[in-house]
Amino acid sequence: MKLELARKPTPLEKYIFEGKEIWIKRDDMTDFVASGNKIRKLEYLLGDAIEKKSDVVITCGAVQSNHARATNYLSKRLGMRVILYLKEWYPGKNSGNFLLNELMGAEINIVTPKEYEDIDKIMEEKAKKLLEEGRRAYIIPEGGSNYIGSKGYEDAVFEMSRQVDLDYFDAIYVATSSAGTYAGILSGVKKLNLNLEVRGVVVHKKPTEVVREKIEEILDQLGVEDHSGINLIRGFEGKDYAYPSEADLKMIKYVASESGIFLDPVYTSKAFRGTLETMGDQEKVIFIHTGGTFGLFAQIDALEGIL
């Protein structure tokens, strides 16, 4: 079952940056509190939770997780209890997404990076305890990235095909972390038989093989046997996930000053920089803006250096 939670279709707007034609899919405008790419995944995931008669949602992420914030907000709107497991990371901890989660009253459990390595097991054990108490928990993986959530980005490709002629473009660029958004986009492109490259700018230090395996797993589950065309761009992850480089922070300032669009410090600043620096001879591309604006407020100290 799919719920209708996002404000759609989101705009697809044409811009010129450094002389290059980049159309931005404004998925930063899918909602206010639930803004960003996660809401498209959650339309399917929370629909599945309701179908399974769940009354508790359990999920995980970094302390400033956009996914955790969106899941918390949407689950509460649907009347479900929310339990979050957030990986310890202290810069800006009490601001941005974390602050919103505290205000919304989620049960927040801070776990160490070492504990987070077993996060799936931790969430499953919590679900078992809740079942003993007569509660039915629905576990959503990190980033909402499984085949159920990825259907939301198949839909986004179908949505864009109704907005513009996708054959006009050379490529779609998107930030890639837990791989669900990328897998959904590639699946949608393949199901529409488009001659359109899909490039994922990886924003963390996980090995490329790990990311590729996750994409292939989701493609199989979505019924896409052809795994060709997976294109992962490295070299823009910086120190690691959630650590923007000075170049990323300067990209946030540049794009905001040129267009009034705000990139975020975790995903889109790295991905947009990767787009500009690797387009090469490509003349016109689509950039998926996956949101994350609230995360800017957790990086105020770092941003002061480029203002």
Cα separation, 56 vs 140, in Å, equals: 11
Q: Which pair of structure tokens corresponds to residue 112? A: 């160490």
φ/ψ of 77, rounded to 5, equals -60, -30
Residue with tokens 């009347």: 79
Cα separation, 28 vs 239, in Å, equals: 25
Contacts of 85 (CB under 8 A, 6+ apart): 58, 59, 60, 109, 111, 116, 119, 122, 123
Which residue in 35, 54, 65, 178 is the catalytic one? 65
Nearest to 177 by CA among 210, 204, 159, 149: 204
Catalytic residue check, 65: yes
Q: Which pair of structure tokens corresponds to residue 133? A: 């108490």
DSSP 219-282: HHHTT----TTEEEE-S--TTBTTB--HHHHHHHHHHHHHHSPPP-TTTHHHHHHHHHHH-TT-
Cα separation, 247 vs 238, in Å, equals: 9
Cα separation, 100 vs 67, in Å, equals: 12
Residues 153/186, Cβ–Cβ less than 8 Å? no
Contacts of 279 (CB under 8 A, 6+ apart): 20, 171, 285
φ/ψ of 99, rounded to 5, equals -60, -45
**Which residues are identified as catalytic?**
65
